[in-house]
Structure formats: C-alpha cells, structure tokens
Amino acid sequence: MTASRRPLGLRFWLIALAATAGMLVTASLGRWQLSRAAEKEGLQAVLDERGRMPAVDGSALPAGAAGSAQDAASLVHRTVVLEGHWLAEHTVYLDNRQMHGRPGFFVVTPLQLAGPGGAVVLVQRGWAARNFQDRQQLPQVQTPQGAMVRVQGRVAPAPSRLYEFQGADSALGSSRIRQNLDLAAFRTETGLALAHLTVLQTGEAGEGLLRDWPVVGTGVDKHYGYAFQWFGLCGLIALLYVWFQIVRRFIRPRSQPAA
C-alpha cells in the first residue's frame, strides 16, 4: 500500500495565491490593451474619413490667432490647397529631425494667404540635411520672394516637441535654428496672426527639401501585440501552476513503506 498523500501546506497556498494574482493582473492588462486598441481604431476611422474628404482652401481655415483651437483641431489631417506668398524672413529650421534615418532640419515657413484678411499659416515645408562640419550653416532652400505659390498638404498640429536643455536656442528670437517651436511664442515673437494649426506640405521633393512624411496612423497594431503578450503570459502562469502544483503531485512516484 502506498503512503497517504501529504496535506496541502502553506507553501502550496502561497503559490496558488501568487499564481492567481499574476493571472488576474496580466489578464486585466491584456483587456486594457484591447480597449485601447478599440479606441485607436475609432480614431483611425476618423482620420481615414478626413483623408477622403475633398481638399479645403484657405477660406476654410480658422482666421488667424482669433480662430478657435477647437475649430483647428476638427480640421487636422484634412487635405488642403493654399495660395499665398512665403514670409521667408521668418523661416525657422527645427534641428535633430530625421527622415530616412538621417538627422537634419524640418524647414518651417509662414505662408500669408491670398485674399481678404491675409491670414498666416505656418507650413512645415519639408526636410533638409545638415552640414555637420559647420553646424551653423543653413541648408540651401529655395524660397520664392513675393511670388504667389500654391501649396498642397494636410492640416497638422504644431511640430512635435523634442527634449531640450534649458537655455537652448529655441528661446524667442535667439536663432533661426531651433530645437522646438511653440506656436503661441512664435506668434508673439513675429507679430504674425498665426492660425492655431500648421500645414504639412506634401508632394514631390523640391526646393531643396524632401517630403517623405510618415504615414498617418494611430498605432493600433502595437496594442494588439501588447494584448497578445499579456494574455500569453497569463496562460503561461496558468500552465506552469497546473503542471508543477497539480499534475506533478499525482505523477510523482511514492516510496513504498518499509515491510
């Protein structure tokens, strides 16, 4: 006759508690990632719908600084066709920006729109390489002076911000080379009635600039990937617990009692 099974001790219940807690936490994180994915899918649907809408012109943009930020946000990612002339003297070069893995500048120039009111929109015109032998040298960008130009693009928020040390060249009027550009501060610096949005110029390379901007997306796939990882970890915890704490207790050979 085999020996009777040992009673379940404190160690068994502590491991069971830890495994249960681990499965609950990882399953909750997986469900949270799925909910984030659902939110991003809704946002992506809105962006895709805006991208399919007809292009707007300058008259549809909020009128300068007096325009509503909410109205500007409702136009983000809409395609746009603008006519006006460049205010080249206010061109700014945003440093440490990459395209095709190469560091350089995003070139940003205000465009004064044709028509009554003369509203001004900040245009992210494209990317230019930097001269690392002379870090103060500006790239050769062709900007027609006073001529009427036609700009195609899509409405975008202000340029993304990068980390910068205090006292960097992005201070008001300190340099045409900046790390970041704040619309409100630039409006004060230049005195221009800038709208609460920018335009990301699209199209073929030209004027010394590349315009291979990243595809607009909300990153839904990464949330599904994270959810798969969390649910996979939850299942692994359950599998290891069942194997080591239950299955092995039944298949472990028992020693025979002494005769």
Report the Cα 205 to chain-centroid distance in Å. 23
* The predicted structure's pLDDT at residue 34: 93
The burial class, CB within 10 Å (0-12 / 13-18 / 19+), for 78 is buried
* Residue closest to 5 by CA, chosen among 223, 221, 255: 255
The pLDDT of 26-38, averaged and rounded, is 93
Query: Residue 210 phi/psi, 5° resolution?
Result: -100, 150
* The predicted structure's pLDDT at residue 68: 56
Distance CA 22, CA 11 (A): 16
Residues paired with residue 198 on neighbouring β-strands, in sequence order: 122, 156
* The predicted structure's pLDDT at residue 4: 52
Q: What is the pLDDT of residues 96-135, one digit of tens each?
A: 998 888 889 999 999 998 876 678 899 999 999 988 888 7
Q: What is the pLDDT of residues 190-231, one digit of tens each?
A: 888 888 888 999 888 888 899 988 776 667 888 999 999 999
Alpha-carbon separation of residue 234 from 24, 25, 228 (angstroms): 8, 8, 10
* Residue ranges per structural domain of the chain: 10-46+220-251, 55-201
Q: Tell me the DSSP string of 31-82.
A: HHHHHHHHHHHHHHHHHHHHHHSPPB-GGGS--GGGS-HHHHHTTTT-EEEE
pLDDT value at 259 more than 60? no
Distance CA 209, CA 126 (A): 5
Residue listed under structure tokens 């245009």: 123
Q: Which residue has the higher pLDDT, 44 or 152?
A: 152
* The predicted structure's pLDDT at residue 106: 93
Distance CA 176, CA 178 (A): 6
CA angle, residues 254, 257, 258, in degrees to nearest 5: 145
User: Pairing mode, if any, of strands 92-99 and 102-113?
Assistant: antiparallel
Amino acid in position 71 = D
Task: Count CA within 13 A, CB hemisphere, residue 11.
Answer: 4
Q: What's the mean pLDDT when you consider all of the chain?
A: 82
Alpha-carbon separation of residue 37 from 23, 147, 202, 230 (angstroms): 21, 46, 29, 14
Residues paired with residue 73 on neighbouring β-strands, in sequence order: none
C-beta of residue 66 within 8 angstroms of C-beta of residue 193: yes
In percent, the amount of the chain with pLDDT more than 70 equals: 83
End-to-end CA distance of the chain: give it in Å, rounded.
10
* The predicted structure's pLDDT at residue 172: 46
